Amino acid sequence: MTGATRKIVSAMLLGVLLYGAYIAYTGFSAIAESLGTFHWVAFFLAVCLATLNYLLRFLRWEIYLGILGIKIPKVDSLLAFLSGFVLTVTPGKVGEVFKSAILSQTHGIPIARTAPIVIAERLSDLIGVVLLIVLGSAGFASGLPWAIAGTVVVLVGLALIVWEKPLELALGFVQRHPRFGRFEPKLREAVTSLRLLCRPSTLGPPLVLSVLAWASEGVALWVLLKGFGAPAPLVLSVFFYETASLAGALIPVPGGLGVVETMLREQLVMLGGIATATATASMILVRFATLWWAVLVGFIALGILRRRHAVLGAAPVTP
């Protein structure tokens, strides 16, 4: 078993234990009663909305590849993008650089050239989520601290990327260092790509796609709550989902496990007035429809890609 596989299996086991603990704490009979009234078509719709999220983010991935002048067959591009979901349960989703390793092995594209796309994706995701939180926090004071914190992180990140002097100083230090000097050319290539992706003139379309993508998963939570007959406003549901997702992204735990679940459940109960059993069941279902469905899609895409490219089947794919 490879290191990546062990991490995935460990995260899955952690998820099972975590959800089991929530069910035990809430009460199995109460959860079962809630699920007994649930309209399962809502779960199907939630999975469809999560899939829409993936497709919108794939369009963003294609935009980024185009900016860098990288052209590969659309089928391979889609499969490589979805394969990155295999490591969705890594902290901050940094494991999605896995797709750069795939492109390196299947099309000979240097990892240093495409890995900055992952950073650009996380940045546009962060901006998109913050915008949704700001919209949802209108007239809802508890959401303002999250919006402010996220905005600060975004502004600092953009400043560090766009402001050339600090990066040049850092690259100069790396170049002069006896142990790390050999990495300077690849780092410089990565920084050049990152600057191209994060220019103000190129942020627009990816940002629109990010907002739509993450709004779709917020709507998925609302659909699930409606499946239970819970009186949850759409804007509030999106707000709860985005704040929980932001917390899970900022705190370095696999897939935000424990952080997203706890925050989402507590917001639904304390702020949304949702019954505890319904809130717990909705939280578990939305995580299956988004997080764990993404991991499954990643494995399916990687399996198809291995059949198309024998080089992936001959050796483990490592970032």
DSSP string for residues in 49-82: HHHHHHHHHHHHHHHHHHHTT----HHHHHHHHH
Residue 26 lies in a domain: no
Check residue 181 and give its pLDDT: 60
246 to each of 34, 60, 287, how far by Cα in Å? 28, 20, 14
pLDDT at 43: 97
253: three-class secondary structure by DSSP:
coil
- Per-residue pLDDT at 224: 97
Task: Report CA 114 to chain centroid distance, whole Å.
Answer: 17
For residue 208, give both structure tokens: 């629109």
Q: Is residue 83 a part of any domain in this protein?
A: yes
Instruction: Tell me how many domains the chain contains.
Output: 1
Q: For 224-233, give one letter per residue: b (16+ CB within 10 A) or e.
A: bbbbbebebe
User: Does residue 211 sit within a domain?
Assistant: yes
Instruction: Give the C-alpha separation, 9 to 162, whole Å.
Output: 38
> Element (H or E) spanning 91, and its range?
none
The region, left, alpha or beta by phi > 0 then psi within -120 to 50, assigned to residue 230 is beta
For residue 5, being part of any structural domain is answered with no
Does any domain span residue 295?
yes
Domain encompassing residue 121: 42-314
C-alpha span between 291 and 50 (Å, rounded) = 9
Is residue 269 within a helix (H) or strand (E), and if so which, with residue range?
Answer: helix 259-270
C-alpha–C-alpha distance, residues 319 and 317, integer Å: 7
- Please give the model's pTM, rounded to 2 decimal places: 0.84
Q: Over its length of 319 residues, how does the chain's per-residue pLDDT go in tens digits?
A: 455 667 677 777 787 888 888 888 888 898 999 999 999 999 999 999 999 999 999 999 999 999 888 999 999 999 999 998 887 776 655 567 788 888 988 888 888 788 888 878 888 888 888 888 877 776 565 666 766 766 676 677 666 666 666 666 665 665 566 666 665 565 665 666 666 676 777 778 998 999 999 999 999 999 999 999 998 889 889 999 998 998 887 777 777 888 899 999 999 999 888 999 999 999 999 999 999 999 999 999 999 998 888 777 555 555 4
Is residue 205 one of the residues assigned to a domain? yes
Residue 31 lies in a domain: no
25 part of a folded domain: no
The pLDDT, as a whole number, for residue 1 is: 44
